[in-house]
Amino acid sequence: MTRQLSLTCSGHTRPVVHLSFSDNTSYGYFLISACKDGKPMLRQGETGDWIGTFEGHKGAVWEATLNNDASKAATAGADFTAKVWNAISGEELVTLQHKHIVKTVDFSEDSTQLLTGSNEKVLRLFDLNNTNSDPDFLHGHKGNIKSAVLHSSEQKIFSGGDDKIMRFWDVRTMKEFKTLETGHSVSSMEISRDGSILVVTYGNEVSFWNTSSCEKIKSFECPCDMYSASLHPDKSCFVAGGEDFRLFKFDYETGKELESYKGHFGPVHCVRFSPDGELYASGSEDGTLRLWQNTVGKTYGLWKSLNAEERNGNENGKV
């Protein structure tokens, strides 16, 4: 039986706390990772090959994201700044000052706006065409904001954090229009590739929301506290990782566990599917970023279709 062969992407020296893929581009797709070492890294998404490191933050980087075509990157830092970068040259384009640790960043679909959330308990929406202007502020959170996403076509913002409340905002009015108590800190949010579903983790629950109606579609309880989850682009399954070091794959329709793999040596802080759904990436407290095949044994990227005997039991490759 063919076994999962995860690829370990080395380079970080402290816990990897967030990662993000770009869309498919004419050069493939790309992967960026945020780490407490303060040095977000850009990689070729299909292989995990290192491209470059964005240097400029003075402290941990809590989140890193790419815009759709991988031309720009944004990072959220413990140095009270969010930064926007030219992802091709590595040049720092702008530093956006805050009054506390910045935990989350997200581009609008056209890359003209940047959403940030921080330990000030405030969301900011910056105009990247006029960074000298004051941002729009969204007040309402009573705890540190841990995750926030901007849905441009729906003109909505979704956010959550330590106050154990999901909040829904209308970008046109810059006002909150819905709240939901979760009972646990909201640890991650993701908008599906087609924009129709919001994926949220809190406690041991992974929940799915219609981004248009803002109604819950379904939710599933998992074997442990989950810190991150990601929905496959075709919505056939979702992956999740959390407290017990394992990566889980579940059937999206039924919630049945399909697979689970242990490769990390610490809690899993982040997991995301690639835009083509062929792989998913995970980052951990152990300081590593790993790539996993969605279809085990398929020839793709650096993976070869080897049988278990040829692997001689070795389940961990390195790039």
32 lies in a domain?
A: yes
Number of domains in the chain: 1
Q: pTM score, two decimals?
A: 0.93
6 lies in a domain?
A: no
123 lies in a domain?
A: yes
CATH number of the domain residue 190 falls in? 2.130.10.10
Give pLDDT, residue 168.
Answer: 98
Give pLDDT, residue 1.
Answer: 54
Which tokens go with 5? 């062969």
Residue 194: φ, ψ to 5°: -90, 0
4 lies in a domain?
A: no
Long-range Cβ contact pairs of 229-232 (< 8 A, separation 24 or more): 229/188, 229/190, 229/199, 229/200, 229/201, 229/271, 230/190, 230/199, 230/271, 230/272, 230/273, 230/280, 231/190, 231/192, 231/193, 231/197, 231/199, 231/273, 232/273, 232/277, 232/294
142 lies in a domain?
A: yes
- Contact predicate 84/114, CB 8 Å: yes
Give pLDDT, residue 297.
Answer: 87
Nearest to 14 by CA among 32, 34, 31, 30: 34
Q: What is the pLDDT along the chain (319 residues), one digit of tens a residue?
A: 578 889 999 899 999 999 999 999 999 999 999 999 999 999 999 999 999 999 999 999 999 999 999 999 999 999 999 999 999 999 999 999 999 999 999 999 999 999 999 999 999 999 999 999 999 999 999 999 999 999 999 999 999 999 999 999 999 999 999 999 999 999 999 999 999 999 999 999 999 999 999 999 999 999 999 999 999 999 999 999 999 999 999 999 999 999 999 999 999 999 999 999 999 999 999 999 999 999 998 999 998 754 444 444 444 444 4
Look-up: residue for tokens 């969204």? 138
Give pLDDT, residue 318.
Answer: 42
Helix (H) / strand (E) element for 311: namely helix 308-311
Owning domain of residue 112: 16-312
3 lies in a domain?
A: no
Nearest to 56 by CA among 28, 20, 86: 86
Pairing of strands 6-9, 316-318: parallel
Helix (H) / strand (E) element for 310: namely helix 308-311
Which tokens go with 50? 């290192």
Give whole-number Cα distances, 291 to 46, 55, 233, 235, 281, in Å.
9, 24, 17, 20, 4
* Neighbouring residues of 116: CB distance < 8 A, sequence distance ≥ 6: 76, 82, 96, 98, 102, 104, 105, 123, 124, 126, 135, 148
